Homo-oligomer: A and B are copies of this chain.
Amino acid sequence: MDYIPHGREDIRQMLEALEISSVDDLYPDIPGKIRAGGYGIAGGISEQEVRGTLEKFAGMNASVRTLKSYAGGGAYEHFIPAIIDDICSKPEFYTAYTPYQPEASQGILQSIYEYQSMICELTGTDVSNASLYDGATAAAEAALISVNKYDGGVVAVSSAVNPMYRRVIETYLRSSPCRVEIVEHTEGVTDISRIGKHLSGKLVSFIFQSPNFFGCIEDVKSLSDCIHDKGALSIAVANPLSLGVLEAPGRNGADIVVGEGQPLGIPLCFGGPYLGFIGVKKELMRKLPGRIIGRTLDKDGKEGFVMTLQAREQHIRREKATSNICSNQALMALRAAVYMAYMGKEGMKKVGALNICNSHYLAEQIEKTGKAALKFRKPFFNEFVVEFKKDTAEVLRLFEKEKILPGIQVGEAGRNSLLCCVTETKTKGDMDKYADVVSKL
């Protein structure tokens, strides 16, 4: 199978126009030595067979429909309103590309302008962009904003930040003049007293996450005040779904707010494609990575949208660009935009509240069993660390029988612990069942 429209006659006519007898005549310059044989890829199979083949792979995976899942840790099972798939499967959106020609791309441009606006409002920042690859790279890009090429210094990261994010930040900054250093948490939250201490150089920025990797809510305001006192930038990693209920980090002093947009209507899909979002204070606008959409006027003075501030970008500035980002995650930004519009003011509050109330309900029920306890006694959003009295392997085995995944194992949380996430997708019945299994340990 292929997707080539030409009939034999088409090809004949085209070769004739080119005055050649076969396509091969178009390759005179390619050294014979490197002409390939076949790849050994069987196939040329039909659509029906492709479907059959891929169904088999899919059938070998558990899904959150076959396995009741309390897994979180950076990717979250949430309700995805049907209108998101409907709107985002419009080919006018998904088969277009970067809106280089604004007059032929007003649909995408306006939708991203609206996305940027909602991200700014949600995070309490002034400027956002058209998306980054994911939450982890967004955190790394934020770190890069804080780094001055000629100065060096330290980017400090709380140990309560998702360990994958920490690794990505480290990788991204390896060739910068700055070092990345870790500041240990205390009792599941960042220890303010340690900020700026024991560092090998001047603090240029401090990165923390709230709700953090353990689910605990950080004191963003005190952290940011302390960071600013040291003359550094406050960089917050946030869960956007929490921000209808929790204060916007930007309003609590964070200079840059980044995070993973996946909770905003994006399927789990085994880890991607997701959505890195970023919002910054006005002063940092010209340091932003990636595309930014702006509003302007046309020849007749009519409103319209364009990519703007392109002088920051690789296609104009090449090696002097703020980042190398070219393709981004625009379709995922569209999903998030539709999600935010659909949830709206009340929905964002309610879905946040459901996450808080469900997760705390389950935490209470678990503790009541006496067979497990919360590891950290701090306010949390929709995740918490449970410490079981029994071995984790045994815990998992018992839950397995009920087709439940009770959480994920995370080294950072210590032995016999699981990081357990509860969202609006869980009913009271689900949670009571969970506690019931725990009580049987």
Contacts and interface: CB of A to CB of B under 8 A. Distances in A.
Nearest to A425: B48
A79 B47 contact: yes
B89 A48 contact: no
A91 B91 CA distance: 12
A81 interface: yes
A17 interface: no
A65 B65 CA distance: 18
A319 interface: no
A65 B424 CA distance: 31
Contact of A424 (B48, B55, B79, B82): B48
Contacts of A65: 55
A333 B418 CA distance: 54
Interface residues on A, range: 10 to 19
A294 to B, nearest CB: 30
A353 to B, nearest CB: 14
A55 B82 CA distance: 14
A47 B424 contact: no
Contacts of A89: 89
A89 B89 CA distance: 9
B425 A47 contact: no
Interface string A417-435: 0000000110000000000
Given A55-B65, A65-B55, A89-B89, A82 B425 contact: no
Interface string A8-29: 0000000000000000000000
Contacts of A425: 48
Contact of A82 (B47, B81, B91): B47
Interface in A57-116: 65, 79, 81-82, 86, 89, 91
A352 B18 CA distance: 39
Nearest to A55: B65
A55 B55 CA distance: 19
Nearest to A59: B65
Contacts of A91: 86
A65 B52 CA distance: 10
Contacts of A47: 79, 81-82
A48 B425 CA distance: 8
A382 to B, nearest CB: 16
Nearest to A46: B79
A55 B63 CA distance: 14
Instruction: Identify the 3 closest CB pairs spanning chains A and B, nearest first.
Output: A48-B79, A47-B81, A47-B82
Interface of A: 47-48, 55, 65, 79, 81-82, 86, 89, 91, 424-425
9 contacts: A47-B79, A47-B81, A47-B82, A48-B79, A48-B424, A48-B425, A55-B65, A86-B91, A89-B89
